[in-house]
Amino acid sequence: MHEANLIKKEDTDSEREHPPIQLSGANLAGANLAFADLSGDSFRGAILRGASLRGADLTGTDLRDADLSSADPADLRTTDLRGFFERAYVDNARSVRIGDTDVRDADLKDADLRGTKLGGADLTRADLRGVNLTKVEELTQEQLGQALGDKTTKLPTGLSPPEPWTIVDDTTPASGATEVALDAVVRVAFSERMDPSTLTDSTLKLSDTKTGKQVPAAVSYAEESKTATLTPSEALLGSTKYKAEITTEAKDRAGNKLNQGYSWTFTTVSS
């Protein structure tokens, strides 16, 4: 297969350094396009079954009629798909096929998914805040329950947010952050006011991804901002990847558990 000269996100500044790529109708099944800057490129009608698009920038990408469905799902985790779906609708495209595509952790905030077929898609931890789902086809209550979202999400007729609907609104450091200070604290903002007694070092944890060792820490909660803070008892290690996790045992004031457990990673600055 001919390999396109794709530029990785980290190799670009704020301005795109390559002209749009025309790969309409190309067979890119199984291709590794992870972290590529695909913004503005044309993949119209392309076969992308099983392709890895993890972390790729698809803002404004023309993916009309592209086939992303597969028994071996395309990996779209952490991919910014907002441009993809907005373009798909604005250009009056035929329904975009997602099928069994893995959209876990994808950022879909404010996307327009009208006309999109989401049957079988894994939406676990996908951020659907503000998404217009009014004409989405095949979306199930189970899929909606997999996803993060809030009350601004416009839902299809007959679907309502699953209860409880308490979610993680924001995290610090952000998911995937690098060069994080060794004295950093971990913060988790929730959509609802939480029961402080359920926010402990058992429900909000930080661990070294390599060794699995949990970082000793104190956990506090600020009622006004609905934010839990984990403060490590010792400095973090340099050049180390950490995983922060909040479990479903964290409950809101009404006793509802967190809708989905949530975890993310970040990497510290070199010491």
- The answer to whether the beta carbons of residues 85 and 117 sit under 8 Å apart is no
pLDDT at 211: 95
Residue ranges per domain, the chain? 1-162, 168-267
Confidence of residue 226 (pLDDT cuts 50, 70, 90): very high
Amino acid at 204: L
Name the nearest CA neighbour of 38 among 4, 71, 14, 64.
Answer: 4
d(CA 177, CA 220): 22
Q: What percent of the chain has pLDDT over 70?
A: 81
Confidence of residue 13 (pLDDT cuts 50, 70, 90): very low
pLDDT for residue 179 is more than 90: yes
**What value does the mean pLDDT take over residues 202-218?**
96
What pLDDT digit, counting tens, does each position of 187-200 carry?
Answer: 999 988 999 999 99
pLDDT at 149: 66
CATH dotted code for 168-267: 2.60.40.1220
What pLDDT digit, counting tens, does each position of 239-262 carry?
Answer: 999 999 999 899 999 998 887 788
What pLDDT digit, counting tens, does each position of 85-125 carry?
Answer: 665 555 444 456 676 777 777 777 777 777 777 877 878 77
pLDDT for residue 150 is more than 70: no
DSSP 58: -
